[in-house]
Structure 1
Amino acid sequence: MKTVCEWCSSENVEHISGSVYWELPDGTRAIEISETPTFSCPDCSMIYQSEAIVKEIEDQLFLIDCKKIDKVITFENLMEIPRLLKRNYFDFS
């Protein structure tokens, strides 16, 4: 299945990796998550993460001890941090 841009519906979307900046669930600080799977659309100049990646990051940050995260972490390293709970029991979607 071909990926289309979520903003302009172009089929010219490229899969890249990039940095995103995320506020921790407790609101104490923000971190940089490098090498995050990202889409780039040259037609409308949008650079964005899929809803699935956003949910994966939010769930992981909600389920780990965020005090152990430095200011910068790679996406892969973030996802490897052991969770305190098996899943997000507050996600009713």
Structure 2
Amino acid sequence: MGLVCEWCGGAANNGENIVYWELPDGTRAIQIIETPAVVCDDCNMVYQTDEITKEIEDQLFLIDTKKIGNSISYKELMSLPKLLKRNYFDFSS
């Protein structure tokens, strides 16, 4: 069975899109290209799963964000070296 849209319940597929993210320190926003997304065939909604959102949020807490320009690909962002082993500000688990 394929993906189901969280918005309308219709058929969806894996895709990519561009997202804009505010850095944790609030100094600026960056563009993240080629970000994994869910694309709905019925309602045309394009969105990130909760897992992808958490991966981005965690990574931005763990890296030196001053080394990121205005735009970066998702793969480049996720491959940047971490300064911390985990997100110590995440109390959800």
One-letter amino acid matched to 1:52: E
Indicate whether 1:58 and 2:60 are aligned. no
The unaligned stretches of length 5 or more in structure 2 are: none
Question: How far does residue 15 in structure 1 lie from its aligned partner after superposition?
Answer: 1.0
TM-score, normalised via structure 1 length: 0.94
Superposed counterparts of 1:6-25, under 5 Å: 6-10=6-10, 12-25=11-24
Superposed counterparts of 1:36-51, under 5 Å: 36-51=35-50
Question: How many pairs are equivalent?
Answer: 92
Relative to its length, the structure with more strand (as a share) is 2
Partner of 1:81: 80
One-letter amino acid matched to 1:5: C
What is the CA–CA distance in structure 1 between the aligned matches of 2:2 and 2:45, rounded to whole Å?
17
Deviates more, 1:1-10 or 1:71-80: 1-10
Partner of 2:3: 3
Structure 1 residue ranges, 4+ long, deviating more than 3 angstroms after superposition: none
Question: How far does residue 56 in structure 1 lie from its aligned partner after superposition?
Answer: 0.1
- Identical-residue share of aligned pairs (%): 62
The unaligned stretches of length 5 or more in structure 1 are: none
How well do the aligned residues superpose, as a CA RMSD in angstroms? 1.0
What is the CA–CA distance in structure 1 between the aligned matches of 2:28 and 2:41, rounded to whole Å?
32
